[in-house]
Structure 1
């Protein structure tokens, strides 16, 4: 164990871990909201996030952000954020309409919905991995070459965005880490207040607590489920944009591991609890970054999932105490 490196760099490791954790938390919101309303795990949500990363990549590539600066660069980043949110929200709505709504109307067993989500996850990932073939099929391969080439390997925006660092009380901090953490917490607070105070948010909570009574009181269950997927998709789009700012690289299967970690964060905090998703994500991000510093980078994922096992052994309801069987949005 590298204790000297760990203690000498503890503040920097913690801030970087919080940045990763903030991304996990934003993705986890999609899992926790769908579970709160439908009592189902949407395993295709990881691909909702993945499509958002590609939307960011395409916008930054199309507008050549590496040659932009000042107001121009800010405009490109705003366009990338909007595109990422729109892409992820669209995929989430398509997912709800195709993979979930028909099963819900037929009162299909939850296991069937779970299998449908897993199947949709593979379909969405492979479609992105075959986008060059799709473009060629429609005769647009040459025109879209820089967007569809290298379909099954890494696609990077490295160097397109500067990542200045600054010193604060002797601690070297990346400006991107601060942007990621502040943005994620702000989005979390806005979503929490929206769900608690707005009419739609009250409908979501009512459906999560008692769908039949909520329906009798005038809440449209189909619209509520649709809006739950939409909100989860929007948050995944924000997470995808922030992820690309920090990591620079995406690929067609990137959603798998990040999706599993986001699901871990949701369970860690108490699935069905919005604030639990934030807490679980931050704890997970810090824990795995500390573990990486102590044991080596190859142990990063091991530490994350060992933490999950320990939490479930000693506190099965998650850190904020929501029962998995009575989870609420």
Structure 2
């Protein structure tokens, strides 16, 4: 199978490495002038892994799309709409299977990434999402994990699972696209909250964060028409260990550095997701107290320690 990966950051490069490792022909695309792509061309490696000599590297979007049967997209969520506009102009795009390996929501609209992509490329495009726990640093050491593939078309789901399943990654069929996409995006928000608790030496509250976070997001998923049970699956709760506790999590590290007043230079998708959730909270009339508290701290400069303590020590109420 010919696979193209669009995006040569940490996760995109890993996906290309993984597809190559399990026997596929792979092309990896990066934008013209991309420092990551230049490094890979010069050294065939980044700080996490080494790619094979056979892997194609290109900054031509048309070349990457025409090469592949399946196209994996792994870029910043906020850049997806613009990429979709470019893909729509390519003659081959409608005949391909696209897989979004991204966890986020469009900040300005609150829309799920599959919605954004179909708005730009076309409603009939073959599209799936690839979500769930796992860090590059663990996978390259042959530490396995479980992930989920979801699509509105079960045949597309089966094709992707059959193409990428291995002893390193065990896939499950996702049955609820709304729940899986919202779950994957919002676990990054909970990761930011966990990092703040770590930075404030309130790590023991992460258990309460997990319990209340899943309940909060399940209410939102139900209001949006999804299955609230999905939040307790791989895309959200199943990804908590990798996001709320791992030293490799950018979102957890962002939260810890934020309360420590340290500069954080990597992408933390959860920040834009908090903005998106403000939109969804109003649109679906669902209270999101954890997300609201984080918005107050990050965007309105509320004091983090008191805001988070007030959140968890709210007036007594029934748990369920």
With normalisation by structure 1, the TM-score equals 0.25
Higher strand residue share: 2
Higher helix residue share: 1
With normalisation by structure 2, the TM-score equals 0.25
